Structure 1
Amino acid sequence: MDWTGWIERWGEPGVLAVAGLLVGLGFGFFAQRSRFCLRGAVIEFWHGRFADKLAVWLLAFSSAVVLVQALVVAGGLDVSTARQLSARGSLSGALVGGLIFGVGMVLTRGCASRLLVLSAQGNLRALLSGLVFAVVAQAALGGVLAPLREAISGWWVVEGGPSRSLLALFGVGPWDGLAFGALWLVVAVFFAHHSGWGFWKWAGGIGTGVMVALAWFATYQVMSHSFEPVQIQGLTFSGPSAEWLMRVLSEPGKPWTFGLGLMPGVFLGSMLGAALGREFKVETFGPGYSLPRYVTGAVLMGFGSMLAGGCAVGAGMTGGAIFAVTAWLTLGGMWLGGGLADRLIDGRHA
């Protein structure tokens, strides 16, 4: 692939935006067809039902870990300069943010990526929640909620480098990370087989994980072939949501980024998946769907994602695939917060 030629022709912003668009198309399509959803997986797990949603999430997560670590082993990817590993991080922000995000995703019946996917198939509840999520994420990043986020983040910090890598802390390397991912892939295949055959459960779950790895690979290739400083980044939705909000509200002319291409790509890919399955349907707030519940959940997810350094995909899968300590702590917080919220707020199986 002639990355240098593409960069010379379109520039780094153009190549990054196109890469984001293509990765987003794939992610949106596979996530829509497989019903990929961390919230659904968390609820199934805490209810002791190892069914489709848990199987899909495990397939996606383990596939992402395997492919990312395989790329590192093969020399096609170096994640050492990724923000999740190289920059100073917050363990308190990761845990508290993950807990808050987990509660929010139960209230909105979907995480940030799921809201975008549902919006593309006509769910206006998800669309409104996504807009609130973006506003609060921006407020937490550089607005009125930023001081609170910074205060919580300062409780327990960790320096960038080996102290932010689980592999380095355990004294192991990418081969061990690859083996760990392969083990979980076997577990995922077992649960997927146990919950019954479904083409899109398998193809969509694995495809979603592949897109997470491709995001790392594409931005790394641009960084490696560019004469300008480019930050390697993965697939996430909190930052790009806030970025799109500010792009709409500010003057035009700012350079395009991977995240700006990602969001419309996911939306279009989801629309394509919904059209294929004939699942486009306008849904609004009706009986059983409380507007305050969705707005509250979106607020919690927006603040929680910025506090944790990413959403369920950005921190959980993208950061988890490179074994960032904060990402795994965030992911644990999301599973715990989601389970507690489902038990205490919905209480269907109390």
Structure 2
Amino acid sequence: MLLTGLALGIALGFTMQRGRFCVTGAFRDLWITGNTRWLTAFLIVVAVQSVGVFAMDAAGMITLAPRDFAWLATIIGAFVFGFAIVLAGGCATGTYYRAGEGLVGSWFALIFYALFAAMSKTGVFAPAVDGLRAVTVHASTIHGLLGLSPWILVAVLVTGVGLLARHHLARRPALPVAALPARKSGLAHLLFEKRWGAFSTALVIAVLAILAWPLSWATGRESGLGITGPSSALVNYLVGGDPQLIDWGVYLVVGILTGSFIAATGSGEFRVRLPDAVTTVRSIGGGALMGVGASLAGGCTIGNAMVDTATFGLQGWVSLVFMIIGTGAATRLFVTGPAKATAASLTPVRAGR
């Protein structure tokens, strides 16, 4: 059954690479252009998954158990994580699939992300992380806090996301993009050459996210998609060699890397690309901060912002908000701020009248 994690991971990595599903870009677009298209795609995953998760819970296939909300660690960790993904050039899954494309900068980010996640969960930083996560309130979900049926929130979420998607789909289509003649046909063309849309990619990812719940539970891992914990476990396995650390989640992250490599190779997009010195330093620093931030927050953009939000967990929605804020702070510092300063310095000074 563990191999189902590998299979689902391959499908997820393949889909994210071909669809260019970048959560970092979705958050960053809000601050640079105000565009919500990719954020809407991300929320489609959350909304569709939410329907599937609560249906499975109602059917007894899984059991959603409450847990206390580690509010302080979640806020700090989510902000740090959101800040870090701009430095690293991608979130946890984005780093995995870009590493599969041959981006050496993402290799550095991925290595240090997994290493610092392990250090934060079971290593030298664990006491500090555990101490912050011990600061909790006795609440776990939005519907539990409000005393509502979760299906009311599901209906609100699906309706809101549906209206957002309709808004984007109703806008005037962009000018056609020039493309080379197709070299493949049939399924090969669809999988490796045809441009994947943001919303269609989101629907595929949503289906995979739903499937992750029963497949993971069947192996004793009572959770859905998750990246940080498995990445930490993989590092600990490589260091200590304990085979009990290899669970469904570890197979999942290995599968994401494998699926991305298959997609990039099949589409001709795989190429080993070396970063410059500045990008290398930022990738390493961003990866390290991602590992610490995700451990503090209890999850990354997948485990928290995509999965826990689908169950209306307080940790998930608070994480999503502070990840976006953290991304905005880093964008202002490293993207829009320096760009404006550079543009201003290049503007010719006009002589006075």
* TM range, smaller chain: 0.7 to 0.9
Tell me the secondary structure at the aligned position of residue 302 of structure 2: helix
Structure 2 CA distance, aligned partners of 1:52 and 1:97? 26
Task: Give the TM-score normalised by the residue count of structure 2.
Answer: 0.83
Read off the aligned partner of 2:109 and give its amino acid letter.
S
RMSD, matched Cα: 2.2
Q: 1:210 aligns with which of 207, 210, 223?
A: 207
Q: Is the 8 A contact 1:51 1:195 kept in 2?
A: no
SS at match of 2:89: coil
Aligned to 1:303: 292
Query: For residues 58 and 255 of structure 1, do their structure 2 counterparts lie closer, same or farther at Cα, with a shift above 3 Å needed?
Result: closer
Separation (CA, whole Å) in 2 of partners of 1:101 and 1:278: 31
The Cα offsets for residues 36-56 of structure 1, whole Å up to 9 and x where unpaired, read as 122101111122442653343
- Cα distance, 1:265–1:122 mapped onto 2, change above 3 Å: same
Partner of 1:146: 126
In the TM superposition, what are the counterparts of 1:45-60 in structure 2 within 5 Å?
45-50=30-35, 52-60=37-45
- Counterpart amino acid of 1:232? E
The higher radius of gyration belongs to 2
Structure 2 counterpart of 1:151, one-letter code: G
The alignment status of 1:80 with 2:64, answered yes or no, reads: yes
Amino acid at match of 2:22: C
How big is the shift at 1:196?
A: 4.6
Greater CA drift, 301-310 or 176-185: 176-185
Count of residue correspondences: 318
Cα pair distance change 1:320/1:291, threshold 3 Å: same
Partner of 2:87: 107
Q: Judge conservation of contact 2:32–2:336 (CA < 8 Å) in 1.
A: no
Q: 1:269 to 1:171 in 2, by over 3 A?
A: same
Change in 2 beyond 3 A, CA 1:278/1:48:
same
- AA matched with 2:29: E
Q: Tell me, yes or no, if structure 1 residue 177 matches structure 2 residue 153.
A: yes
Match of residue 269 from structure 1: 259
Q: CA deviation at 1:252?
A: 4.9
Task: Give every structure 1 segment of 4 or more consecutive aligned residues whose post-TM-superposition deviation is greater than 4 Å.
Answer: 195-198
Q: Give the counterpart of 1:338 among 327, 332, 336.
A: 327
List gaps (5 residues or longer) in structure 1: 1-14, 224-229
Query: Greater CA deviation, 109-118 or 166-175?
Result: 166-175
Q: 1:48 to 1:259 in 2, by over 3 A?
A: same
Alignment map for 1:1-350 (pairs within 5 Å): 15=1, 17-50=2-35, 52-73=37-58, 75=59, 77-81=61-65, 85-86=66-67, 88-154=68-134, 156-159=135-138, 163-190=139-166, 192-193=168-169, 194=171, 196=173, 199-220=196-217, 222=218, 230-254=220-244, 256-286=246-276, 289-348=278-337
CA deviation profile, 1:64-112 (whole Å, cap 9, x unmatched): 2233234334x1543423xxx33x4411111110000000001111001
**1:192/1:246 Cα in 2 relative to 1: closer, same or farther (>3 Å)?**
farther
TM-aligned CA distance change 1:153 to 1:40, over 3 Å: same
Instruction: Indicate the larger mover: 110-119 or 46-55.
Output: 46-55
